[in-house]
A and B are shown apart, each in its own frame.
Chain A
Amino acid sequence: MSSVAGFRREGVEWISEATGTRWVPVIGLEVHAQLRTRTKLFCGCANEYGAPPNSLTCPVCTGQPGTLPVLNGDALELAVRAALAIGAEVAPRSKFDRKNYFYCDVPKNYQITQYDQPYCQGGGVELPSGRRVRLNRIHIEEDAGKSMHETEGVTLVDLNRAGVPLIESVTEADLDGAQDAADYLTALREILVYAGVSNADMEKGEMRCDVNVSVHPAGEPWRTKVEIKNLNSISNVVGAIEHEIPRQIAAWEGDGPDPVQETRLFDAAKGATRSMRTKEGEADYRYFPDPDLPPVTADEAFVEAQRAALPELPAARRERYQSRMGLSAYDAGVLTASRDVADFFEAAARLSGEPKEAANWISNEVLRALSGDELEAEHIDELPLKPFDLAELIGLLDKGVLHASGARQVLREMMRTGKAAGELVIELGLEQVQDDGALEAWCREALEARPEVAEQVRDGKTKAVGALMGAVMQASGGKANPQKVREILLRLIGVEE
């Protein structure tokens, strides 16, 4: 985290250079994540990103008079999986409420949400630092549309997003800095993506964050909290928190007014928050149970079915990769950073029977290629290379058909063209020479050219054989199997290994 003038940072504390006071931040996050359903929460319109404005609408999600909402069962299933993925409790009975407020991107002028009986309570998320962030609740709600204030007096509204299913998760105020917030969002995103609940792509607005921040001198009670709304990237969350903490401290310490309970917006361009409305300006949402929707029931059988459908989550996978497959903690981390990569790895490991090899090839070659710009693909699932292809390549290496540098060459071509490894080996002329007669001939040539090396080897400097191997490899045009060459050379020199 950056340094801020006027403060010294010690652990979580911000020490004011002016007063010497040690300030402790208290932070909680509210995260909206779009559920990955085929259709919207209460109607049959497609839940899709990027369609022409208002093309994904119907009488229900445009709030036409007389229409009624019908809960999308898939949304409930995904929401319950999210709850289970963070170890939370699913309420056997919850209900939907109406949150009443007038705005042009809310076609009914109320939002259907869950107020005092959310479907999920508790749970928590582990951060890499070891800290556990507790969740207070998760509830299901419908998204609003998108309004764009074009020029003065013109507002355009796109209702494609209106009625898209969201889950809003609310943490306890367990975080104490921007790093925590960033770690939490990363971890939560990972869980939601793994669980198949949400794509949680912040750039597409599939995951959005509100931050609650307050500061207090160490050892004193908590003070007034401020909400910063609509943060749409982790860097904005970090920026907003890093700005808001010193702003609040300065306000407490200065002669001006103390911080008030309010809602602020973060201006990423200026790197500053500004007031949107104070508590007095808050709407009275007049929540009441939505009479159009019966209570939601999630009985044990339903919850257990969702648990069974839940894929293994990243922490469990990392643990298994290390304990059962012998991977390093680092490799396990790299491979589980995205579910697609982990799934790819597991398939390749299973098909090849060589988890370590599969891990090495993926993390050293495939992921590196994806992060560079020689390939069009950015994600592993966009590659023409499939786990089966990688397993085949590993098999060819094992059998000695290919050596490592040849395999790298083949892999690059596989990622580009999707051709099979065997085919490429022939196409690129990379088959290793397995014929002992030919290998022995090259070895004899090398020994004759450098008799002094054979002497060194006989004297015990086995390593020196490398020089001879280099010569053989050169003579073979790189196609000799190094393992075999070594064996033959040592045999010809008359040394036992």
Chain B
Amino acid sequence: MSGESGKGPLDLGAAELREALLAGEHTVVEVVEAHLARARERDGELSAFQFLDDERALARARELDAARAAGEPPGPLFGVPLALKANMCLAGVETNCGSRVLSGYRPPYTATFVERALAAGAVPLGITQMDEFAMGSSGENSAYGCPRNPWDPTRSAGGSSSGSAVAVAAGLCPISLGSDTGGSVRQPAAFCGIYGLKPTYGRVSRYGLVAFGSSLDQVSPFARNVRDLELVLETISGHDPRDSTSLPLPPFEPERPAELMRLAGLRVGVPSQYRGEGLDAEVGTVCDAALAQLESMGAELVPIELPSTEHAIPTYYVVATAEASSNLARYDGSLYGARVEGDGSLQGMFAATREAGFGEEVKRRILLGTYVLSAGYYEAWYGQALKVRTLLRRDFERAFESVDLVAGPTAPTGAFRLGEKTSDALEMYLSDVFTVPASLAGLPAVSLPAGFLPGDGGLPVGLQLIGPALAEARLLRVAAAFEAATDHHARRPRPLEAGGVA
């Protein structure tokens, strides 16, 4: 199945794959079959997918081949296999958010961003595993199985978009969609050694993304190269009249600089708060090397302060849980999803359904969110959190007066062992310490493969770049320059190397 490029379809990124398809090297059916076969072969071990939807994927592939044969113009994601997180609505396909309470729920409609990806020619292969309702940083809070990190199956792939990250990292598909509320795409991207981009809040429509923290949630792509990341963002972004919080802007357009690797004049802010307590020393060393690389390409590293950072985690856990407590109220067994009758009364059914349907972490956050919104506590908690959120925004605004972007580690550690943090919720929450500030400020941020830890079997490390609102093009230009100058992104997990390219 190897084409003129010498690479099989499984080795190609989305843009390359499209080119190969248009060059007639493969048919879409061949490409999709190859990915489905790989996924089936590998997923017993990795558990990236909740389920593969062979039938739908192949039917779609045949349609695309036929459309191509009929001379229809190919979309920007023509024939590209795609994985969707289990909180994304595709009409008729189970969207359970990793929760028992939504088991069997098939939405009657399709999310705007999924529609756009489909219209661009993407082929959804299946639905990926996630922490229940996107609450978690390890993939362990799912009712349907926990993905394994392809670099070390005893370790977490990160979360909550665990399965979508694993699918791309392990080569089960070239691109996938996750959702990032407080780091749910960037942190697993870092753990799995791939790219993850959280766009500016409002860039991508949330219509059809099952809500966790509505003021934070953004659909976010994973890819193995920067060009693919751009391609997906171009496809799914742009105003959607069905989401009042989507920005009134046309789709994202990438910058294509003439001199990719020149970063002269770029001022990179390095916040002291992103290097403090809790940061694994080796992760810090890898990030320092990555920053030095940027410097060697002409960027200027500027020490900056983001003083409100220390309040970001508590603020996030107030805002996100408050919104979640209300967003998740609808799962009561009355209209859809699972139902447990309870004592026969209406309230009894609600209580029994929710008691049986939600996992422990989701219940913890609903309780927390309910508490912070309660009469008498609102001002002290939710009201206060909104104020701190404003301070965090101002921190960034001030920083961006003197720097073009902010850089630091995506996560304080490399991928931790499964089970390592499950007993301590607070410690788990702290793995989002560097990703949460950009979420609260609504800013775009990308995690890129920055290098590998010397110990721990060489786990990947992610570097996070945070930009001002709508500066995705800038972030991606810098990411592309770094990509061109390094080969961290090209290194794949071992099993993949073993079973992959001939």
Residues B108 and A70 in contact, CB atoms below 8 Å apart: no
Residues of B within 8 A of A103 (CB): 346
Residues B335 and A107 in contact, CB atoms below 8 Å apart: yes
Say yes or no for A292: interface residue by CB 8 A criterion.
Answer: yes
Residues B105 and A65 in contact, CB atoms below 8 Å apart: yes
A284 nearest in chain B by CB position: B375
A100→B332 CA distance, assembly (Å)? 13
* A102 in contact with B370 given A64-B107, A66-B209 (CB within 8 Å): no
Q: How far is the CB of A242 from chain B (nearest CB, A)?
A: 34
Say yes or no for B215: interface residue by CB 8 A criterion.
Answer: yes
Residues B108 and A292 in contact, CB atoms below 8 Å apart: no
Residues of A within 8 A of B393 (CB): none
- Digitize B190-211: 1 where CB-to-A-CB distance is under 8 Å, 0 elsewhere: 0000000000000000111111
Main secondary structure of the interface of A (DSSP, over half): loop
Residues of B within 8 A of A104 (CB): 332, 334, 346
Residues B374 and A284 in contact, CB atoms below 8 Å apart: yes
Residues B108 and A64 in contact, CB atoms below 8 Å apart: yes
* A70 in contact with B378 given A64-B108, A65-B105 (CB within 8 Å): no
* A288 in contact with B322 given A102-B350, A107-B330 (CB within 8 Å): yes
Residues of A in contact, count (CB < 8 Å): 31
Q: Which of B208, B322, B344, B350 contacts A66 (CB 8 A)?
A: B208
Residues B107 and A70 in contact, CB atoms below 8 Å apart: no
Say yes or no for A59: interface residue by CB 8 A criterion.
Answer: yes
Residues of A within 8 A of B350 (CB): 102
* Interface-facing stretch out of B12-20, B239-247, B257-265, B279-287: B239-247
Residues of B within 8 A of A284 (CB): 374-375
Q: How far is the CB of B93 from chain A (nearest CB, A)?
A: 12
Residues B105 and A292 in contact, CB atoms below 8 Å apart: no
Q: How many A-B residue pairs have CB under 8 A?
A: 102
Residues of B in contact, count (CB < 8 Å): 46
From B97, B215, B370, B373, residue with most partner A Cβ within 10 Å: B373
Residues B378 and A110 in contact, CB atoms below 8 Å apart: no
Q: Enumerate A250-291 residues with CB–CB distance to B below 8 Å.
A: 284, 286-288, 291
A157→B331 CA distance, assembly (Å)? 16
Q: Enumerate B206-252 residues with CB–CB distance to A below 8 Å.
A: 206-211, 213-215, 241-245
Residues B382 and A288 in contact, CB atoms below 8 Å apart: yes
Say yes or no for A293: interface residue by CB 8 A criterion.
Answer: yes
A153→B373 CA distance, assembly (Å)? 32
Residues of B within 8 A of A68 (CB): 206-207, 242-245
B246 nearest in chain A by CB position: A68
A286→B369 CA distance, assembly (Å)? 10
Residues of A within 8 A of B108 (CB): 59, 64
Say yes or no for B323: interface residue by CB 8 A criterion.
Answer: yes
Residues B336 and A155 in contact, CB atoms below 8 Å apart: no
A107→B337 CA distance, assembly (Å)? 13
Residues of B within 8 A of A293 (CB): 244-245
Q: Which of A62, A102, A292 contacts B347 (CB 8 A)?
A: A102
A102→B342 CA distance, assembly (Å)? 16
A294→B244 CA distance, assembly (Å)? 7
- Digitize B372-398: 1 where CB-to-A-CB distance is under 8 Å, 0 elsewhere: 011100100010000000000000000
Residues of A within 8 A of B129 (CB): none
Residues of B within 8 A of A65 (CB): 89, 95, 97, 102, 105, 107, 210-211, 330-331, 336
- Digitize A51-67: 1 where CB-to-B-CB distance is under 8 Å, 0 elsewhere: 00000000100111111
- Show 19 residue pairs from A and B whose CB-CB distance is below 8 angstroms, ordered by the A residue: A62-B335, A66-B89, A66-B207, A68-B242, A68-B245, A70-B241, A70-B244, A100-B326, A102-B329, A104-B334, A110-B329, A155-B346, A287-B373, A288-B378, A288-B382, A291-B213, A291-B215, A291-B323, A292-B244
